């Protein structure tokens, strides 16, 4: 367990101890850290029609943030790798058309420049949370960063990764708990909701939760989403698809439109 002094040394800028105010990050009309924010979208942008259909649906349901991967860090090199710049262009066009804030993942310096150009928020994924050179680079950009927890990262390593970004000049870091590797294999990852409550205690940065990658099972997304907000999560990132069975990636954990609508209703009750 970390003592207060150790914590101060590891992540003084991300720590709550040096400020008594929680950070609010404003992106257009969306304020992370103020009210619960729902981010949704497909795991990957697949084509213009798909992202337009999903963006239109989100707009109709007052979900303000559209997420779609264009650079996909896949476990297998034979899996769909994303549409790269073309995907970012499709995401950006859909975001503009439906007035949605956009998020996409960057995986290296090249994609970082593109994501910063086309999107409102730069995602750094779980696999790159320990990529310190990339963290330093994203710290030089003036767009907010959505930093996902590495699948083997302790809470302190997660906050220290955020520290890298802030120390490099970018203070707008949104943290995302997305599950960690444990011995459990019924779920894809073990969603660590205690980390969410702990981060609210330790840091002033907004923290959101991704129950889609956190469980890997569509049926668990809604109960985990509710639990995430109950423990202090300040937002959610949910994978949705117009035809989950045909999705090119992560279809088994993606919600169809009607299930997602029910989730939104359940969050309100």
Please choose which of Mn ion, ligand PEP, none residue 144 contacts, taking the beta carbon within 5 to 8 angstroms, the exact cut-off set by kind. none
CB atoms within 10 A of CB 20: 7
Q: What's the rounded Cα separation, in Å, for the pair 118 and 84? A: 11
CB crowding 62-92: b at 16 or more within 10 Å, else e: ebbbbbbbbbbebeeeeeebbbeeebbbbbb
Secondary structure (3-state) at 216: coil
DSSP string, 132-189: HHHHHHHTTSSS-EEEEPPTT--HHHHHHHHHHHHHTT---EEEEE--B--S--SSSS
Report, in angstroms and rounded to the nearest whole number, the Rg of the chain calculated over CA atoms.
17
Residue numbers of the site for Mn ion (CB under 5 A)? 43, 250
To the nearest whole angstrom, how small is the minimum distance from the Cβ of residue 64 to Mn ion? 20
DSSP 254: P
Pairing of strands 173-177, 101-105: unpaired
- Identify residues 3-42 at the interface with ligand PEP (CB under 6 A): none
Please choose which of ligand PEP, Mn ion, none residue 178 contacts, taking the beta carbon within 5 to 8 angstroms, the exact cut-off set by kind. ligand PEP
Q: What's the rounded Cα separation, in Å, for the pair 196 and 200? A: 6
- Identify residues 102-131 at the interface with ligand PEP (CB under 6 A): 125-127
Question: Across the strands, what pairs with 30?
Answer: 27
Please choose which of Mn ion, ligand PEP, none residue 126 contacts, taking the beta carbon within 5 to 8 angstroms, the exact cut-off set by kind. ligand PEP
To the nearest whole angstrom, how small is the minimum distance from the Cβ of residue 117 to ligand PEP? 20
Among positions 137, 200, 204, 213, the unique one binding ligand PEP when judged by CB under 6 A: 213
Q: Select from 68, 75, 72 the least CA-distant residue to 40.
A: 68
Please choose which of ligand PEP, Mn ion, none residue 214 contacts, taking the beta carbon within 5 to 8 angstroms, the exact cut-off set by kind. none
148 or 200: whose CB is closer to ligand PEP? Answer: 148
CA 151 to chain centre: 14
Please choose which of Mn ion, ligand PEP, none residue 125 contacts, taking the beta carbon within 5 to 8 angstroms, the exact cut-off set by kind. ligand PEP
Closest CB to ligand PEP: residue number: 125
Q: Please check whether residue 76 is in contact with residue 63, taking contact to mean a CB–CB distance below 8 angstroms.
A: no
To the nearest whole angstrom, how small is the minimum distance from the Cβ of residue 254 to Mn ion? 8
| By the rule CB under 6 A, 69 interacts with ligand PEP | yes
Closest CB to Mn ion: residue number: 43
126 or 220: whose CB is closer to ligand PEP? Answer: 126
To the nearest whole angstrom, how small is the minimum distance from the Cβ of residue 129 to ligand PEP? 8
- Identify residues 125-184 at the interface with ligand PEP (CB under 6 A): 125-127, 148, 178
Please choose which of Mn ion, ligand PEP, none residue 87 contacts, taking the beta carbon within 5 to 8 angstroms, the exact cut-off set by kind. none
178 or 241: whose CB is closer to ligand PEP? Answer: 178
Q: What's the rounded Cα separation, in Å, for the pair 136 and 174? A: 16
Which residues are near ligand PEP by CB under 6 A? 43, 69, 125-127, 148, 178, 213
């Amino acid at each position: 367990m970390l003592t207060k002094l150790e914590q101060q040394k590891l992540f003084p800028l991300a720590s709550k101890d040096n400020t008594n105010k929680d950070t609010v990050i404003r992106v257009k009309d969306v304020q992370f850290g103020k009210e619960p924010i729902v981010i949704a979208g497909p795991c990957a942008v697949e084509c213009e029609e798909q992202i337009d259909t999903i963006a239109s649906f989100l707009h109709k349901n007052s979900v303000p943030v559209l997420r779609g991967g264009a650079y996909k860090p896949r476990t297998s090199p034979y899996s769909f790798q994303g549409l790269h710049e073309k995907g970012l262009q499709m995401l950006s066009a859909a975001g503009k058309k439906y007035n949605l804030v956009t998020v996409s993942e960057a995986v290296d310096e090249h994609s970082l420049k593109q994501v910063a150009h086309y999107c409102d928020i730069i995602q750094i994924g779980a696999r790159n949370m320990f990529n310190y050179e990339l963290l330093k680079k994203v710290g030089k950009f003036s767009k907010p960063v959505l930093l996902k927890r590495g699948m083997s990262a302790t809470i302190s390593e997660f906050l220290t990764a955020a520290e890298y970004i802030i120390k490099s000049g970018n203070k707008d870091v949104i943290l995302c708990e997305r599950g960690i590797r444990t011995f459990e294999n019924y779920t894809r990852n073990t969603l660590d909701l205690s980390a969410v409550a702990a981060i609210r205690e330790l840091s002033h940065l907004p923290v959101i939760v991704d129950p889609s990658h956190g469980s890997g099972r569509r049926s668990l997304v809604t109960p985990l989403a509710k639990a995430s907000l109950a423990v202090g999560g300040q937002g959610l990132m949910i994978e949705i698809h117009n035809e989950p069975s045909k999705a090119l990636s992560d279809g088994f954990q993606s919600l169809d439109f009607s299930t997602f609508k029910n989730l939104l209703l359940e969050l309100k009750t």
